[in-house]
Structure 1
Amino acid sequence: MTEAKRTQGAEQGKRFYDRFARKEWERNSGQGLDLTGLGELAAGKGVTHEEALLLLAQPDDIESILAQRLGAASSDEASLQRLLSWSDGQRRLRVTSRADSVARACAGLQRGAQGIGLLRGEELLRDESLLAVYEAWLSCTEDEEERKLKRGRLVYLWTESWIRLLQAADGKPCSVSLAWDARQAAAPEERLALQDVQLEAMFRAMLRCDQEEIPFELALLALWPMQEEEWLAVYDFIEEVGRQTLGAWWPEAHCKVGALLHPDVRPVDAAGIARSADLVVMDIESASRFHLLQEQQPLGGPARIIELEEPVSDWGGPALQCSRLEEIVDIMRSIKPELDIRAGGDIRPADLRAVYRLGMNEVCCEPEWLTAVRLTGYRLEASQQSAASADEA
């Protein structure tokens, strides 16, 4: 990006560029890449040099190259999978998949995701059979007995959906946020009622999986806690529903509790949340805590972030330009150095430099971008190691 372009850009974009335009990240991600290991892999494990050279392709071109190559010969699929498995072992960045349904979760896992990085709690309610029961429960406000019956039906159907999700994950980590419905934005007690149903259904699904010896690793994410007190209240709420639903089995349930943090959170509050959270997912899909989708799509969750007047597309998505984000991650790392901090949303290869610079160790992306993100992540890490070695020499 030229100096003139920086001068003309939005102030937010300029702050972002200044923060990430460090010498080491200005290097081309393909230059200085040590291909010795790839040569050994090609010679000893059957990965072709042509497939290995995917690491030198432009990230945005990787998926189109794969579409052409994998349509040519079935042997290319095995070769590619060996290459991807090798890069996963070399790369420290954990790459997970974004999902909004069981089908999308399966698609991501089949493409090599190391888990389901973010599924918003309300998204499974879009299933036709679930949505009809949910709508009936939501609208039943006069007859308490009828409402209880509809609640029980909703718990049963939602439990079956969570079981299918955990079966699809097959023991890989799965992170789910507490549900949000825009129609209930002004009624906290109704949101708690929805989340209570969600938690009961999820805990019953966990118990079923345990009884049927289906492996699972589930993390529940508090939705947008803005203060430590709010986070602790949600944590206690999850614990209470867990004890009420599972009784004596709850302490053995192996359920992590983390937070889906909005970038608007103050760094000091993020530090307080990090003290007791098992993991943190930064919600880069949201522009404002109360900026939701249109009412005709109330179960859509938070809206995507508003684009800048002049997006800095070469350096990452606008969500990663939040002025507080670097400070938030830094202070959480100072409190708990080993805390898993994930960039949750639709991360793409162009975002990875910002992710590394911010110090996050996990990302979440759409299934279609998994291969490119996995390979680009390795390229950036290998390039950085080569640059560091050269500087030392």
Structure 2
Amino acid sequence: MKGERQQQNGLRSREERPLMYNEGANTGQEHKAAFLILREGREERTVPPADRRLPAGPCLIRSETWLLAPKLAELYASWLFAEEEPLAERLLQRMYYRLRAEASALLESPDGDWAAVTVLFTPELAARRSRLAALQDAQLEALFTALAERQRRGGDCRLDLLAPYPASAAEFAAMREFIETVAEQTLGHAYAAACRIGALIAPETQQAAAGEIARIADFLVLDGAAGGAAPESAAAEGFARSTSLALAAVRRVKPAAVVFAAGPSAAKALADLYRIGCSGVFCSAAQRTEALLRAASLTWDARAEQHLPCPRGFRR
């Protein structure tokens, strides 16, 4: 009971969080004032804990990059091709400890103050559902165990999860139930009830499916990195077009849905995404400065059109 109370006390309520994944966020013209430029990927930043401020939104972490770490990459390759079940189980257990170390490093970093982490998905496991589920289970247990340890030491961090590329509402619902089950088994009912679970949506997802997924997801991320290779300008134009269609379908079902865009194409298509009402974009470190400047200019222009006072620091 004592441990459960500690877990409950360590969880911030939905009402206390600055960016709300609920029905009250970003309605009507409000998205223009709330358009967020957020970080994608871990950054080498040294920020003293006392100087940290509560982030305005999450940092997107693609967990597939964890599998590129030398020791994890070696274990993953061996596990992928292990035919004997006892050997595969031993390798997966070793991978769990490596994944837990990656999760702990993330939560101890400034990016861990609020992170939106994708559930592991790799192309080579797309047709091997049982193996994929085993890997995802190990990752989720590693994440939640690292979170519990962080909270026991008094750390204040938030972890949101993204189900990777669901093709239908039923598929997302199954993934959500899976995440919540692991959360409840690892952290208890308190965290499972408060856990924010979104969907990472591929551009080719059918519009109707995107709308139905939005109905039961806490937030959506339309992923420009999931498309095929194309010239930069064409990729950005195509992504803006597909995002516009998907967003229209989502708004018909859930007008206040929180919908972000991510990937290089999203940063390039920022102006179009702003105008159609996206909640914001996730940018890599290389794209962030330019994106911030463009978003500031768009916000200034929108306020000028509405005869609203310009935010401090945006004067021309």
* 1:348 Cα deviation from its structure 2 partner: 6.8
Aligned equivalents of 2:305 and 2:276: distance in 1? 19
* 1:136 Cα deviation from its structure 2 partner: 2.9
The answer on 1:272 being equivalent to 2:212 is yes
Identify the residue that residue 25 of structure 2 maps to in structure 1: none
Matches within 5 A, 1:338-349: 338-346=256-264
TM-score by length of 1: 0.62
The answer on 1:328 being equivalent to 2:269 is no
* 1:127 Cα deviation from its structure 2 partner: 0.9
The answer on 1:187 being equivalent to 2:131 is no
Closer, same or farther in 2 for the Cα pair 1:91/1:305, shift >3 Å? farther
Identify the residue that residue 318 of structure 1 maps to in structure 2: 237
Aligned equivalents of 1:274 and 1:334: distance in 2? 10
**Counterpart secondary structure, 1:264:** coil
Counterpart residue identity of residue 294, structure 2: T
**Counterpart secondary structure, 2:179:** helix
- On the 8 A contact 2:240/2:266 being kept in 1, the answer is no
* 1:389 Cα deviation from its structure 2 partner: 3.7
Counterpart residue identity of residue 227, structure 1: S
* 1:217 Cα deviation from its structure 2 partner: 1.4
- On the 8 A contact 2:45/2:110 being kept in 1, the answer is no
The answer on 1:285 being equivalent to 2:225 is yes
Work out which of the two has the higher radius of gyration on C-alpha atoms and give 1 or 2.
Answer: 1
Identify the residue that residue 362 of structure 1 maps to in structure 2: 280
The one-character-per-residue Cα deviations of 1:144-172 (angstroms, maximum 9, x if unpaired) are 1x333322221112111111112213664
The answer on 1:197 being equivalent to 2:173 is no
How many residues in Structure 1 have an aligned counterpart in Structure 2? Answer: 272
Aligned residue among 153, 159, 171 for 1:230: 171
Counterpart residue identity of residue 373, structure 1: A
**Counterpart secondary structure, 1:338:** coil
**Counterpart secondary structure, 1:317:** helix
Identify the residue that residue 16 of structure 2 maps to in structure 1: none
Aligned equivalents of 2:101 and 2:174: distance in 1? 28
* 1:135 Cα deviation from its structure 2 partner: 2.5
Counterpart residue identity of residue 230, structure 2: I
- On the 8 A contact 1:349/1:376 being kept in 2, the answer is no
**Counterpart secondary structure, 2:181:** helix
Closer, same or farther in 2 for the Cα pair 1:348/1:326, shift >3 Å? closer
**Counterpart secondary structure, 1:219:** strand
Matches within 5 A, 1:39-118: 92-99=34-41, 104-107=42-45, 114-118=56-60
Aligned equivalents of 1:337 and 1:366: distance in 2? 28
Identify the residue that residue 200 of structure 2 maps to in structure 1: 260
- On the 8 A contact 1:224/1:259 being kept in 2, the answer is yes
The one-character-per-residue Cα deviations of 1:56-85 (angstroms, maximum 9, x if unpaired) are xxxxxxxxxxxxxxxxxxxxxxxxxxxxxx
* 1:274 Cα deviation from its structure 2 partner: 1.0
**Counterpart secondary structure, 2:226:** coil
Aligned equivalents of 2:191 and 2:113: distance in 1? 20
Aligned equivalents of 1:280 and 1:199: distance in 2? 19
Closer, same or farther in 2 for the Cα pair 1:147/1:350, shift >3 Å? closer
Give me the CA root mean square deviation: 2.8
Aligned equivalents of 2:165 and 2:304: distance in 1? 39
Aligned equivalents of 1:330 and 1:149: distance in 2? 47
* 1:234 Cα deviation from its structure 2 partner: 0.8
Aligned equivalents of 1:203 and 1:248: distance in 2? 13
Aligned equivalents of 2:266 and 2:252: distance in 1? 27
The one-character-per-residue Cα deviations of 1:272-322 (angstroms, maximum 9, x if unpaired) are 1111211100011122xxxxxxxxxxxxxxxx54238xx46xxx8234244
Identify the residue that residue 6 of structure 1 maps to in structure 2: none
Closer, same or farther in 2 for the Cα pair 1:353/1:333, shift >3 Å? same
Counterpart residue identity of residue 334, structure 1: R
Aligned equivalents of 2:215 and 2:271: distance in 1? 27
Identify the residue that residue 129 of structure 1 maps to in structure 2: 71
TM-score by length of 2: 0.76
Structure 1, gaps ≥5 residues long? 1-89, 288-303
Aligned equivalents of 2:94 and 2:304: distance in 1? 58
The answer on 1:175 being equivalent to 2:175 is no
Identify the residue that residue 142 of structure 1 maps to in structure 2: 84
Aligned equivalents of 1:233 and 1:163: distance in 2? 27
% identical equivalent positions: 26
* 1:267 Cα deviation from its structure 2 partner: 1.9
Identify the residue that residue 27 of structure 2 maps to in structure 1: none
Aligned residue among 285, 307, 313 for 2:231: 307
- On the 8 A contact 2:100/2:143 being kept in 1, the answer is yes
Aligned equivalents of 1:321 and 1:349: distance in 2? 10
Counterpart residue identity of residue 98, structure 1: E
Closer, same or farther in 2 for the Cα pair 1:209/1:95, shift >3 Å? same
Identify the residue that residue 86 of structure 1 maps to in structure 2: none
Counterpart residue identity of residue 128, structure 1: P
Identify the residue that residue 185 of structure 2 maps to in structure 1: 244
Aligned equivalents of 1:109 and 1:183: distance in 2? 37
Aligned equivalents of 2:85 and 2:305: distance in 1? 68
Structure 2, gaps ≥5 residues long? 1-31, 309-316
Identify the residue that residue 378 of structure 1 maps to in structure 2: 296
The one-character-per-residue Cα deviations of 1:337-375 (angstroms, maximum 9, x if unpaired) are 332211111257642211112210111111122222112
